[in-house]
Amino acid sequence: MSIQWFPGHMTLARKKAAETMAATDLVIEVLDARLPEASRNPMIEELRVHRQRPCLKILNKADLADPHATRAWLAFYNAQKGVKAVALSCKKPSEVAKIPDLCRAIAPHRGSHLKPLRMMIMGIPNVGKSTLINALVKRRVAKVGDEPAVTKSQQRLDLDATMSLVDTPGMLWPKIEHPTDGLMLAASHAVGRNAIIDEEVAAFLAGLLLERYPALLEKRYGFSVAGLDGVGVVEAVARRRGFLVKGGAADLEKAAITLLQDYRDGILGRISLETPQTRAAMLAAKKSAAD
């Protein structure tokens, strides 16, 4: 299953972002800590590098991610030129409060009354940008929703007399190159439901969980995963929860939605869908296949 989702407003958002980048000192890129590279928009990197802007990468939803994987990702990003990475939850004000000082350290030549530090917050849909904005300004100025692509236009906000930021709409990119990235994004609710089939996304997610977190599946749903594949897990969830259709067959759609929601809400436990090692292995396998 190849997932692509690029609503029309995202084309305009990209054009506007390129214009705003010219008057920006620092890019704050919000990633999903459970899938940092899959949730990294290559268009943002392209715009940022072109303008030679430093970047603070925020691995949001760190409270839902596997802490071992998150530590590996922080080391991965902090080794990159012009990048500072930090893991946090935008829902925790005490953690968000550290961001302004981090930004000042990255761009020490700005941040005075004469030269305010101009920041730009970017990221994919439903990654937590609006929650971050509201926490930074300490009031509700950005619309927050459970569906992707709630924010559709830019807005400029002042943190104080020395710092300002621009909130941008969540942007995906026109073609998701790696199919597994599309599935990880769909599982994490960064893609509109009209672009996915819940049962296929849930089967993919279940396959990853079988490989890396089988004990969490067994603990949550109360069945042995021995001998099951991804589809088998979805069916087992249906039968365990009594999700049946007429004739006694498993209601796979209802079970799929349950599994996906349990993952998204962190009910299954702290889970990361990729690590630097699994990412490198995926890219190497794809390159080998192409050769």
What confidence category does residue 148 fall into, taking pLDDT thresholds of 50, 70 and 90?
very low
Are 24 and 157 in the same domain?
Answer: yes
Residue 63: predicted pLDDT: 97
Residue 268 is encoded by which pair of tokens?
């299954």
Residue 37: closest CA among 267, 261, 285, 281: 281
Query: Which residues share a beta bridge with 225?
Result: none
Last residue of a domain, one of 117, 145, 167: 167
Tens digit of pLDDT for each residue in 195-251?
Answer: 678 999 999 999 999 999 999 999 999 999 999 999 999 999 999 999 999 899 999
Give residue 125's domain range. Answer: 8-167
Predicted model pTM: 0.89
Are 147 and 85 in the same domain?
Answer: yes
In a domain, 79, yes or no: yes
Are 16 and 117 in the same domain?
Answer: yes
Residue 176: predicted pLDDT: 84
Residue 120: predicted pLDDT: 92
Tens digit of pLDDT for each residue in 74-115?
Answer: 999 999 999 999 999 999 999 999 999 999 999 999 989 999
CATH code of residue 79:
3.40.50.300
Number of structural domains found in the chain: 2
Contacts of 291 (CB under 8 A, 6+ apart): none
Residue 260, sorted as left (phi over 0), alpha (psi -120 to 50) or beta, turns out to be alpha
Range 65-79 average pLDDT: 98
Last residue of a domain, one of 151, 167, 183: 167
